[in-house]
Structure formats: structure tokens, C-alpha cells
């Protein structure tokens, strides 16, 4: 079977891609997308470790399950916030939101 290292490699890649996206996307929804990548990276780790290292109570999978649910909740809240600010400022580009600075 595939060595564990490949899974971690993949998750690291997704994680970094997500970070990159978070840092560079102008669009708030784009950032949200990138954040999902980060969460998935962690989930891959969790599931892979759960399988490779063994766990009597399947903790990795349980946590991954929670993460999926939380990701859904967070996305909902995030999207609502995006809609709210879109309503107020008519923009979804991050750099437009600098009423408060310095």
C-alpha cells in the first residue's frame, strides 16, 4: 500500500496552496475557497493517520467528520458575512474594506 509519506505530502501541498490562495485572492469567496482547501488538507492527514497508525476509537475520522460539519457552519457564516458586506459596501474585494486602519 502507498506509504504514509505520500498522504502527508499531498496534504502539505493542499495546505500551502490554500495558504497561497488566502493570501492572494482578491475575492472574498476566493479566500473562502482557499480556506476549504486548508481544512481538507488537515482532514486528509487525519484520515490517513487514522488508518496508518491505528486507533481503537477512530478518532481521526471522528475529528474529520467534525471538521466537515464545522466547515459547513463556518462557510455559511462566512458567506453570510460576505453578503452582508456586499450589501453595505457593494464590493467583495478585500482591499476595498479599509475603513478601519492604522
Partner 1 sequence: MQDLVFYFIAGCACVFAVLAVTQRSIFHCALWLAMTLLSVAGVYFYLEAPFLGAIQILVYVGGIITLFVFAIKLTAHIEDKSIRQLNTQWLPAALISLLLFYILIQAFASHPWKNIIPNAPVTSLQVIGRSLMTGYALPFEFMSVILLGALVGAIVIGKVKK
Partner 2 sequence: MMNIAHYVPLSPLLAFVINIIFGRKLKSASAAVAIAASIGSLILSVKVYQGLSFGYGSYHLGQWLTINGKALNFGIIVDPLTVMMLLIVSFIGTLILIYSTGYMHGDIRYSRYFAYISLFMSSMLGLVLSDNFVMLLICWEGVGLCSYLLISFWHERPAAVAAGIKAFVTTRIGDTGLLIGMLILFFTCGTFYFCDLATVKGPEPLMTLAAILIFTGAMGKSAQFPLHVWLPDAMEGPTAVSALIHAATMVAAGVYLVARCFPLFVAHPIALETVAVIGAISALMAASIAVVTNDIKRVMAYSTISQLGLMMLALGVGGLSAGTFHLMTHAFFKALLFLCAGSVIHAVGTQDIQKMGGLFSTLKITSSTFIVGTLALAGIFPFAGFWSKDEILITAWNNHHPIFFGVVLLTSFLTAFYMGRLIFLVLFGKSRSDLHPHESPASMTVPLIVLSLFACFVGFIGSPLKEAGRMEAGVETYWIMLASSVVSISAIFLAYFVYLRGFLPVSIRSRFKGLHDLLSHKYYIDEFYDFIFVKPCALLCRMAYSFDFHVIDGLVNLVADLAQSVSGVLRKFQTGFAQNYLLVQALGLVVIIIWLLKI
Partner 3 sequence: MVDLQYLYPELVLFGFALISLIWGVLSSNKSLIASLAFTGLICALLLLPSTFDASTSAFSGLLVGDGFSAFFRALILLATALIIMLSMADLDILDEDKGEYYFFLLSLAVSLMLAVSSRNLLMIYVSVEAVSVLSYILVAYFKRDVFSSEAGIKYFLFGALSTGVMLYGISLLYGIFGNLDLLSISAAVAKASVVSPVFLIAIVFVLGGMAFKCSLVPFHMAAPDAYQGAPTPVSAFLSVGPKAMGFALLIRFLFTGDSPLIVQWSCLAQALAMITMTVGNMIALKQTNVKRMLAYSSIAHAGFMLIALAVGTSLGIKAILFYLFVYVFMNIGAFGSVIYTNREEISQYAGLSRKNPYAALMMTISLLSLAGLPPLSGFMAKFVVIAAAVQSKFYALAIVAVLNSVLALFYYLKIIKMMYLSKEDDASPLNISSVLTLVLTLTLVANLFLGIWPHGAIQWITLP
Q: What CA–CA distances, in Å, run from 57 to 48, 52, 66, 69, 75?
A: 15, 14, 15, 19, 28
In degrees rounded to 5, what are phi and psi of residue 47? Answer: -70, -40
Question: Sign of torsion, CA 71 34 87 99?
Answer: positive
H or E segment to which residue 90 belongs: none
- 102 is a site residue for partner 2 (CB under 8 A): yes
Q: Applying CB under 8 A, which part among 19-27, 52-60, 62-70, 77-85 lies near partner 2?
A: 19-27
- 23 is a site residue for partner 2 (CB under 8 A): yes
- 57 is a site residue for partner 2 (CB under 8 A): no
- 94 is a site residue for partner 2 (CB under 8 A): yes
Query: What gap in Å lies between CA 22 and CA 74, rounded to an integer?
Result: 15
User: Which positions touch partner 3 (CB under 8 A)?
Assistant: 8, 11, 15, 18-19, 22, 28, 31-32, 35, 38-39, 41-43, 45-46, 48-50, 53-55, 59-60, 62-63, 66-67, 70, 73-74, 77-78, 81-82, 84-85, 87-89, 94, 97, 99-102
Amino acid at each position: 500500500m502507498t506509504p504514509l509519506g505520500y498522504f502527508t505530502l499531498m496534504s502539505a501541498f493542499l495546505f500551502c496552496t490554500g495558504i497561497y490562495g488566502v493570501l492572494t485572492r482578491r475575492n472574498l469567496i476566493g479566500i473562502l475557497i482557499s480556506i476549504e482547501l486548508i481544512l481538507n488538507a488537515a482532514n486528509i492527514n487525519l484520515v490517513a493517520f487514522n488508518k496508518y497508525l491505528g486507533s481503537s476509537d477512530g478518532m481521526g475520522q471522528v475529528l474529520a467528520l467534525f471538521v466537515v460539519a464545522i466547515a459547513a457552519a463556518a462557510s455559511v457564516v462566512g458567506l453570510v458575512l460576505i453578503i452582508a458586506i456586499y450589501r453595505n459596501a457593494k464590493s467583495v474585494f478585500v482591499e476595498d474594506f479599509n475603513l478601519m486602519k492604522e
